[in-house]
Structure 1
Amino acid sequence: MRQAKNASLFVGDKSVGFASIGMSIWGTNIGPSFLIASFGAAYSSGMLIANFEWFAWIFLLILGMVFTPFYLKSNVTTIPQIIKRRFGDGMYRLLSIYSLITIVIIWLGSGLYVGGLLFSQFTGWELWQSVLLLLIIATSFTIVGGLAAVIATDAFQTVLMIVGMAALTLIGLYEVGGIDGLMAKAPAEYWRLIDFDSESVPWMSFVLGYPIMGVWFWCTDQTIVQRVFASKDVPTAQKGILLAAVLKILPPFIFILPGIIFYVLQPGIDNTDGAFIAMVSEYMPIGFRGLMIAVLMAALISTLDSGLNSFSTIFTLDIYQPMIKKGKELSGKEVRLIGRIVTLAASALAFVWALAMEGMATNLFEIFQTLIAFLAPPLTTLFLVGLLWKRVTTAGATYGFVLGCITCMTVGICSINGQTFGLFEQWPHFLNLTFILFIVTSAITIGISLVTKHSADEEFLPKFKDVANTDSSQNKSIWKGWLILAIVMVGLYAGFEYLARNAGNTSDIPSSLPTELSSSPTTSSSTKKTASHSEPLTTNTDGLGAPEVNVYRGETPTFDGFIDQNEYQDATMLTGVENWNPQFSAVSDPKDLSGTVWIKHDGEYLYFAFDIVDNLMYGVDTPRWLPQENPNAHELTREGFPWFGDGVEVLINAKNSFSQEDGELNKGNGHSWQMVVSTHKSRLGGLGVAGLLEGEERSMLSAWNNYQKWILNKDMEAKVQIKPDAKGYTVEWRIRPDPCLEISPGEFWSADLPVTKMGLNLAVADLDNENEGAGNWGNFWHENWWSGERDKRTWLKQWGTMVLHGKTQPISTQDI
């Protein structure tokens, strides 16, 4: 068959052994984006994300024992070709284009961006230089040798990744005091694999949504399945897939476990996507850092060369030959030429897409899983419904696929941007969405099929019993292998459930912490101070109280950054900043960090005023220095650190809906937000000019856009003055209720409303010299919070309460 000969560049002459197939599947899946994202997600939530790895064996089983016999007995070289046989040319062309788009989005551009970003951090190169170098290396492997060279390279790189990450894991265990030290110090919930209350990986959502993603990724994606097409026969392919499933046991131990170890070593990192680089930089010997660069290179090249080869395969065999050459036979030379030209073209697309991603969010694990969640439903529907149910017609498959793609794309864009059009508060979890979209797409496909007839182009595929080798001894031994793997996986889940129930936790946070915010004024061991028309208040220093503060109407202050005593005599006063809950080093000298905060409103704006004592001002009487965790900290981008420097933060939950979920953060809109005022940089003035900056959650594009809009529209303003002796600073910060204090959809706080409660937290950061914060994350010296436990002060359920009164404070309520 002519095409079979021409396809040798893409399927390796069908001579690849099972070991190479298994390691290539595993290595292709483990790209730099996976490595960094899984490490960061483990730092945040522990072993929960291991479910994405340890459930994969089920879908590899389906690939090996159900789909592989169909694929190889049909003598196809691409996924679209199997659809062509079933539904004809129209569906074939649609799927070919869809496949090219998904390869660029998932395998090429995304992986190249993350790899280039990491390589630039290691080397100090510009991003585009790192991206270009890595792309040249990956492209050369693909062009020179085709799939056979790609698979051989992947197999070698798989070994390198396993060795490199195992070394990092062992070094981390040594630093944390071995297995016993890790078990004693890591939170018990970090070992849990099944958690019905988790927000990051809700268990029921996972059970519903992951199968949709799993079928698409492991059973129908060209980049993965192309390794199956390269095998010499069905048993070889099945053994290779079984090997890949066995290797999937490793990632939680060598990619996820180090993230948990680093959490124990250095808790409190907000930008978890930088956790991997931070651990490598701080704990690996210099020689081993070169090994880690090689690991990242291996992970990237393994992903890129696979994606490039798959792109070239589909374009050449499914678009160029049938559509451009009108089905004419191609010579082997022409196939190789076109394949290599297309590889270069795909490289150019990947380069552009990688650079375009530079301004996108950095919450990598959720970003990549979300992309898969919105790409998967149409193709999963096409294979599970379209191929397994003979009643599906060409019209049903085509319209279901097209309308499904449009629906998924629309929902995906709105969900990622947080755009709800006011119809509901927020989008469901992406795992729920992928299940819902699958149901919608399936309903369209089934509904249209029931009212249309089969076309002449359709061809029913053979039954499973006609292609499966049910009687062969090889087949029986492979099934035994799957059974053993199933037993191992059940044992792993049981083992980690035991760990979660019995692991020790030496955290100094008492287990009796309240789970919800107090609705009554906080009593404090600190002495209250009195002031005219004020309600002086200090927060508990033991972290056990959720403080509450009453805020009343007062006179409009002169908004200039200077704080006159008479301006805020009618404001509520918070004292004892040096005694707030320390995130890093505790304050030992009030001259180092102390201060007072006043809060009031004038009926039009809500005002916060800070008078902070600081004996050493970062960037004012000390040179600016940058943390190892982010040498681009002062960039005014989503990758920058708005709070890196001296400054204050305000966090408000205007809706006052306090989630009880661990790790639940603000939404970055009028309902709940966090903003920063720095003494040495600002959105409007850049580096060197104090003022407002975007806070968290910067990983959400909608939050980033909201924060910028508030600053540019002056919905929120801040004035900063450095004290004449440079021993501190004052801040006046005013907030317009509309759009910043949205207490319910479309309703914003005003002084005419009854007494209103909002969540509130405040922070004061002190940076000083790099060496003074040694041992702390980012070398911070002090960072004190009005409410919340250490490492949890940004969680919604850890905030205090602000009670807004529309009128002035009654004289009778004052402390005398």
Structure 2
Amino acid sequence: MHADLATFDIAVIIVYFAAVLAHGFWSGRRERNADDYFLAGRSLAWPLIGASLYASNMSGASFVGLIGASYEYGLVVFNYEWTAAAVLIFFALFMAPVFLRAKLFTVPEYLKTRFDERTCRLYAAFTLFTLMFIDIAGALFAGGLVISMFIPALSLWGAAALIALLAGVYTVAGGLRAVVVTDAVQAALMIVGSLVILWAGLGAVGGWDALFAELDASRTQMIKPASDDFLPWTGLFGVLLLGFYYWTLNQYFVQRVLAARDLKAARRGALFGGFLKLPNLFFMMLPGLIAFVLFPALDRPDLAFPTLIVELLPAGLKGLIVTALIAAIMSSLDSAFNAGASIVTMDFVKPARPETGDHTLLWIGRAVTGAMMIFGMGVVPLVERFGSLFSYFQSTLAYITPAVVATFMGGLFVSRVSARAAFWTLLIMIPTGLALFVAKEVTGLWAAAGGPDIHFTIMAGLLFLAACALLAGLSVRWRGPAAKAHTHFRLPDLAHDHDEGSMRKWRHDYRWQALGLALLTIALIFYFR
């Protein structure tokens, strides 16, 4: 399917690209050292942090994938969204104070602070692998696929290469400051674009009541029975585990929080990011349902989003939505580029050559960003050839990340977890999870050997429990010294981080804000349960 764009549509896209590049080079004039480039001088305010968290998550693959999934399965897909709010509440309460107190550049660096160098490097290598082969390659493949549909002159690889080049150039030029400011603009574009699609779609189906009158109950239920093939309620704990890795232990997102000007900004930014995920019920889920009512016979669910654009929007508005889509893709790429450059520079280069100056580290980070950009372009044809791998994205993380969550949670909350136990838990459980994924989800060897049919979200919970047991057992076997107080959570960390003179103003208390977000999330779940 191809869609011709009007001259005005093309003009909107070109103006947006030009503005993004100009901002990247303008921001780059302020980068003087590694702190500036990787963490924006640790000066970010909470609105920028929250908007950037949201924009980086809502990649082109998310636009296409979430709307396509809701087209196929209904509102049950929203469970992958509200769990993000729950996880970010936990992060704001318990994890942000520890990470900010340690003045980390990267998430793997926490394992060096809490455990040892080799555990840090093991997790840094794991993070680079997921960034390169899942986040960057997936975003480029999905973005190239959709954009080539709207600009027929571009092949899939050509569209992906153009996006990679643009995102890479302004990330190299401006660092994290350019990334987060651009992400805030992109978040606004995505929200506006989604509202336009929702408004046009509801008009086409005859309104809210008419939409739900056309749908059977199975498509409007959020909580499914244990026998459901897509997401049984027994797998919700596994979804939470995926969220813990994705939002709180992934450099891709946590880098924004590490760049906060203070703990107050970090906490409010995380809560704001969680709040922005809740309206995806309307921005992503409902358009999928609308597409199902209007176009029930699409060849594949991923066509739902582009079909809504082509069939419902007039010339001019199409350019706005395509720009929003490009913005979403670039938000994901700039985040991945900057995160990967941070890890290579601060977790590998600096420890190996501690005498390296800040100016040199800055340019090494820029060089790594450029290399990742080129690698991303090169891997797209392979993804196109072996694209079935990306249909297993969620299940892949479900098998390989539970050990990561167990190790970090143990380090954060149990002072007697030893460095040796943490290292071997990761070294044993990550390959074990990957082998299980290949046997069960790819080759079918699990079923051939008579293995039980366990949903991947439930498998995530079982692997987490196994990793916790292994971590505890190894810590007993290889006892280590108690963790230093500043490296794990303490009850005083829950104190009110107030401004002078605002102690009595409850609205400034992040704990009340967290409670409000939790109640809003629960209300949405119960309304659509």
TM-score (norm 2): 0.88
The equivalences for 1:266-277 within 5 A come to 266-277=295-306
Which amino acid in the other structure matches residue 223 of structure 2? Answer: I
Distance of 2:196 and 2:41 partners within structure 1: 36
Q: Which residue of 1 aligns with 2:386?
A: 360
Once the two structures are TM-superposed, the CA of residue 114 in structure 1 deviates from its matched residue by 0.5
Give yes or no for contact 1:185–1:264 (8 Å, CA) kept in 2.
yes
Q: What percent identity do the matched residue pairs reach?
A: 29
Q: Which residue of 2 aligns with 1:487?
A: 519
Q: What secondary structure, in the 3-state scheme, does the structure 1 residue paired with 2:401 have?
A: helix
Q: Deviations for 1:238-259, whole angstroms, at most 9, x for unmatched residues? A: 1111111111111120111101
Task: Answer yes or no: is 1:254 the counterpart of 2:269.
Answer: no
Q: Deviations for 1:110-163, whole angstroms, at most 9, x for unmatched residues? A: 111101111111111211111110001110121111001100000000000000
Give yes or no for contact 2:33–2:361 (8 Å, CA) kept in 1.
no
Task: Answer yes or no: is 1:83 the counterpart of 2:111.
Answer: yes
Distance of 2:73 and 2:121 partners within structure 1: 42
Task: Answer yes or no: is 1:117 the counterpart of 2:149.
Answer: no
Q: Deviations for 1:691-712, whole angstroms, at most 9, x for unmatched residues? A: xxxxxxxxxxxxxxxxxxxxxx
Q: Deviations for 1:528-551, whole angstroms, at most 9, x for unmatched residues? A: xxxxxxxxxxxxxxxxxxxxxxxx
Task: Answer yes or no: is 1:231 the counterpart of 2:256.
Answer: no
Instruction: Say if 1:466 and 1:486 are closer, same or farther in 2 by CA, change over 3 A.
Output: closer
Instruction: Say if 1:7 and 1:277 are closer, same or farther in 2 by CA, change over 3 A.
Output: same
Give yes or no for contact 1:273–1:362 (8 Å, CA) kept in 2.
no
Match of 1:201 among 207, 226, 231: 231
Once the two structures are TM-superposed, the CA of residue 165 in structure 1 deviates from its matched residue by 1.1
Which amino acid in the other structure matches residue 73 of structure 2? Answer: S
Distance of 2:440 and 2:66 partners within structure 1: 22
Distance of 1:46 and 1:463 partners within structure 2: 39
Match of 1:412 among 437, 445, 450: 437
Q: Which residue of 2 aligns with 1:518?
A: none
Q: Deviations for 1:508-529, whole angstroms, at most 9, x for unmatched residues? A: xxxxxxxxxxxxxxxxxxxxxx
Q: Which residue of 2 aligns with 1:424?
A: 450
Give yes or no for contact 2:94–2:493 (8 Å, CA) kept in 1.
no
Distance of 2:301 and 2:235 partners within structure 1: 23
Where do 5+ consecutive residues of structure 1 fail to align?
A: 498-816
Distance of 1:462 and 1:484 partners within structure 2: 26
Give yes or no for contact 2:94–2:489 (8 Å, CA) kept in 1.
no
Distance of 2:116 and 2:389 partners within structure 1: 40
Aligned residues: 488
Which amino acid in the other structure matches residue 285 of structure 2? Answer: I
Once the two structures are TM-superposed, the CA of residue 342 in structure 1 deviates from its matched residue by 0.3
Question: Which has the bigger relative contact order, CA under 8 A and spacing at least 6?
Answer: 2
Which amino acid in the other structure matches residue 412 of structure 2? Answer: L
Match of 1:380 among 395, 405, 422: 405
Q: Which residue of 2 aligns with 1:22?
A: 50
Q: Which residue of 2 aligns with 1:302?
A: 331
Which amino acid in the other structure matches residue 419 of structure 2? Answer: T
Once the two structures are TM-superposed, the CA of residue 375 in structure 1 deviates from its matched residue by 3.2
Give yes or no for contact 1:102–1:375 (8 Å, CA) kept in 2.
no
Once the two structures are TM-superposed, the CA of residue 348 in structure 1 deviates from its matched residue by 2.1
Distance of 2:96 and 2:316 partners within structure 1: 43
Structure whose residues are more often helix by fraction: 2
Give yes or no for contact 1:401–1:445 (8 Å, CA) kept in 2.
no
Where do 5+ consecutive residues of structure 2 fail to align?
A: 1-31
Structure whose residues are more often strand by fraction: 1
Instruction: Say if 1:347 and 1:221 are closer, same or farther in 2 by CA, change over 3 A.
Output: same
Give yes or no for contact 2:140–2:160 (8 Å, CA) kept in 1.
yes
Q: Which residue of 1 aligns with 2:221?
A: 192
Once the two structures are TM-superposed, the CA of residue 440 in structure 1 deviates from its matched residue by 2.0
Q: What secondary structure, in the 3-state scheme, does the structure 2 residue paired with 1:269 have?
A: coil
Distance of 1:463 and 1:193 partners within structure 2: 34
Give yes or no for contact 1:418–1:426 (8 Å, CA) kept in 2.
no
Q: What secondary structure, in the 3-state scheme, does the structure 2 residue paired with 1:102 have?
A: helix
Which amino acid in the other structure matches residue 372 of structure 1? Answer: L
Match of 2:125 among 97, 102, 105: 97
Q: Deviations for 1:467-521, whole angstroms, at most 9, x for unmatched residues? A: 4434743886211112222222222223224xxxxxxxxxxxxxxxxxxxxxxxx
Distance of 1:6 and 1:302 partners within structure 2: 21
Once the two structures are TM-superposed, the CA of residue 84 in structure 1 deviates from its matched residue by 0.3
The equivalences for 1:270-669 within 5 A come to 270-323=299-352, 325=353, 327-328=354-355, 330-361=356-387, 367-420=392-445, 422-424=448-450, 427-454=453-480, 459=484, 461-470=487-496, 472=498, 473=503, 477-497=509-529
The equivalences for 1:758-777 within 5 A come to none
Give yes or no for contact 1:87–1:459 (8 Å, CA) kept in 2.
no
Distance of 1:296 and 1:5 partners within structure 2: 32
Q: What secondary structure, in the 3-state scheme, does the structure 1 residue paired with 2:445 have?
A: coil
Once the two structures are TM-superposed, the CA of residue 429 in structure 1 deviates from its matched residue by 1.5
Which amino acid in the other structure matches residue 254 of structure 1? Answer: F
Give yes or no for contact 2:55–2:332 (8 Å, CA) kept in 1.
yes
Distance of 1:220 and 1:425 partners within structure 2: 31
Distance of 2:388 and 2:187 partners within structure 1: 26
Distance of 1:280 and 1:396 partners within structure 2: 52
Once the two structures are TM-superposed, the CA of residue 418 in structure 1 deviates from its matched residue by 4.0
Which amino acid in the other structure matches residue 75 of structure 1? Answer: K
Q: Which residue of 1 aligns with 2:74?
A: 46
Once the two structures are TM-superposed, the CA of residue 361 in structure 1 deviates from its matched residue by 4.5
Distance of 1:156 and 1:14 partners within structure 2: 20
Distance of 1:471 and 1:278 partners within structure 2: 48
Once the two structures are TM-superposed, the CA of residue 91 in structure 1 deviates from its matched residue by 0.9
Which amino acid in the other structure matches residue 228 of structure 2? Answer: S
Instruction: Say if 1:104 and 1:275 are closer, same or farther in 2 by CA, change over 3 A.
Output: same
Match of 1:55 among 70, 78, 83: 83
Give yes or no for contact 1:6–1:332 (8 Å, CA) kept in 2.
yes
Distance of 1:494 and 1:455 partners within structure 2: 46
Which amino acid in the other structure matches residue 126 of structure 2? Answer: Y
Instruction: Say if 1:244 and 1:463 are closer, same or farther in 2 by CA, change over 3 A.
Output: closer
Instruction: Say if 1:463 and 1:37 are closer, same or farther in 2 by CA, change over 3 A.
Output: closer
Once the two structures are TM-superposed, the CA of residue 76 in structure 1 deviates from its matched residue by 1.3
TM-score (norm 1): 0.58
| Bigger Cα Rg | 1
Q: What secondary structure, in the 3-state scheme, does the structure 2 residue paired with 1:7 have?
A: helix
Instruction: Say if 1:126 and 1:5 are closer, same or farther in 2 by CA, change over 3 A.
Output: closer
Once the two structures are TM-superposed, the CA of residue 360 in structure 1 deviates from its matched residue by 3.4
Instruction: Say if 1:343 and 1:240 are closer, same or farther in 2 by CA, change over 3 A.
Output: same
Which amino acid in the other structure matches residue 519 of structure 2? Answer: I
Which amino acid in the other structure matches residue 13 of structure 1? Answer: G
Match of 1:220 among 218, 234, 249: 249
Give yes or no for contact 1:377–1:437 (8 Å, CA) kept in 2.
yes
Instruction: Say if 1:362 and 1:259 are closer, same or farther in 2 by CA, change over 3 A.
Output: farther
Give yes or no for contact 2:194–2:283 (8 Å, CA) kept in 1.
yes
Q: Which residue of 2 aligns with 1:800?
A: none
Give yes or no for contact 1:73–1:467 (8 Å, CA) kept in 2.
no
Q: Which residue of 2 aligns with 1:160?
A: 189
